[in-house]
């Protein structure tokens, strides 16, 4: 059986990491037998390839890092995530996935780690009970990364304006459809729904949550994907 190593969740999130939730959705769509195991020990996290989660452990104990690495691994075993999509739609899906995983992800990092009220929420959830010094040191590293990427150099209002543009674009692609490419879930939904959900509720900063709340069609879409996932996805062993 495959084991997905994940960050923990709570009542609001299957996992506080949207990439772990993405990998769980991909595994569920693949039809493979799998279980979830949460990693709580920082030393165990540090020992993972890339020192990040999600990581998939296969039947031989081989570790496959990164949600896109996990997707590729599942496809190599026969899974199809974009059944029925044309070549153009497959191209659109790839563009969308990169935009979500790499563009909206930076927005989420700013919303949770940079904005002070987002960070206060992180201290009460993800880092509840964790001593101040190592958490602050880790945050400083994240903020350095956001400075290098450039996102933290913008005014908050500029970040919010760009977020609004991106959400409007995704809402336009979704239109009246149930999922991003029609009536059935595809790989793009596995990326988009968890990321949008993470932006739509704390610990994302309130001003970011407010921007997402202005997109009721996206909110309905998030529920469509994630409410079913909450019922179907395995809980941590």
Ligand X SMILES: N[C@@H](CCC(=O)N[C@@H](CS)C(=O)NCC(=O)O)C(=O)O
Write out the residues near ligand X by the rule CB under 6 A.
7, 17, 19, 51-54, 66-68, 101
Handedness of CA 200, 230, 37, 192 (dihedral sign): negative
Our CB check for ligand X shows the closer of 50 and 220 to be: 50
Q: How far apart are CA 207 and CA 48, in angstroms?
A: 34
Neighbours of 85 (CB within 10 A): 19
Minimum CB–partner distance for residue 51 and ligand X (Å): 5
Burial of 234: CB neighbours in 10 Å, binned 0-12, 13-18, 19+: middle
Our CB check for ligand X shows the closer of 47 and 168 to be: 47
The count of C-alpha atoms lying within 13 angstroms of the C-alpha of 189, restricted to the half-sphere facing its C-beta, is 26
Our CB check for ligand X shows the closer of 51 and 214 to be: 51
Minimum CB–partner distance for residue 175 and ligand X (Å): 27
Tokens coding 22 = 């993405």
Q: How far apart are CA 155 and CA 112, in angstroms?
A: 16
Minimum CB–partner distance for residue 55 and ligand X (Å): 8
Minimum CB–partner distance for residue 157 and ligand X (Å): 26
Q: How far apart are CA 10 and CA 60, in angstroms?
A: 30
Our CB check for ligand X shows the closer of 113 and 221 to be: 113
Minimum CB–partner distance for residue 70 and ligand X (Å): 8
Reduced to 3 states (helix: H, G, I; strand: E, B; else coil), residue 116 is helix
Angle at 228 between CA 172 and CA 192, to 5 degrees: 35
Minimum CB–partner distance for residue 156 and ligand X (Å): 22
Beta bridge partners of 36: 4, 236
Our CB check for ligand X shows the closer of 19 and 221 to be: 19
Our CB check for ligand X shows the closer of 66 and 115 to be: 66
């Amino acid at each position: 059986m495959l084991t997905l190593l994940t960050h923990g969740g709570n009542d609001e999130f299957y996992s506080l990491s949207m990439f772990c939730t993405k990998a769980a959705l991909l595994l569920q769509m693949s039809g493979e037998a799998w279980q979830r195991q949460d990693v709580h020990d920082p030393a165990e996290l540090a020992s993972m390839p890339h020192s990040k989660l999600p990581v998939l452990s296969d039947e031989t104990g081989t570790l496959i890092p990164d949600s896109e690495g996990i997707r590729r691994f599942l496809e190599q075993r026969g899974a199809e995530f974009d059944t029925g999509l044309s070549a153009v739609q497959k191209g659109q899906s790839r563009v969308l996935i990169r935009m979500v995983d790499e563009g909206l992800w930076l927005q989420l990092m700013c919303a949770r780690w940079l904005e002070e009220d987002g960070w206060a929420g992180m201290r009460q959830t993800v880092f509840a009970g964790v001593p101040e010094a190592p958490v602050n040191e880790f945050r400083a590293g994240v903020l350095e990364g956001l400075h290098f990427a450039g996102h933290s150099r913008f005014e908050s209002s500029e970040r919010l304006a760009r977020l609004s543009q991106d959400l409007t674009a995704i809402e336009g692609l979704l239109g009246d459809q149930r999922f991003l490419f029609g009536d059935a879930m595809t790989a793009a939904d596995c990326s988009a729904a968890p990321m949008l959900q993470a932006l739509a509720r704390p610990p994302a900063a309130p001003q970011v949550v407010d921007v997402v709340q202005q997109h009721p069609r996206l909110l309905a879409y998030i529920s469509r994907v994630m409410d079913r996932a909450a019922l179907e996805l395995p809980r941590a062993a």
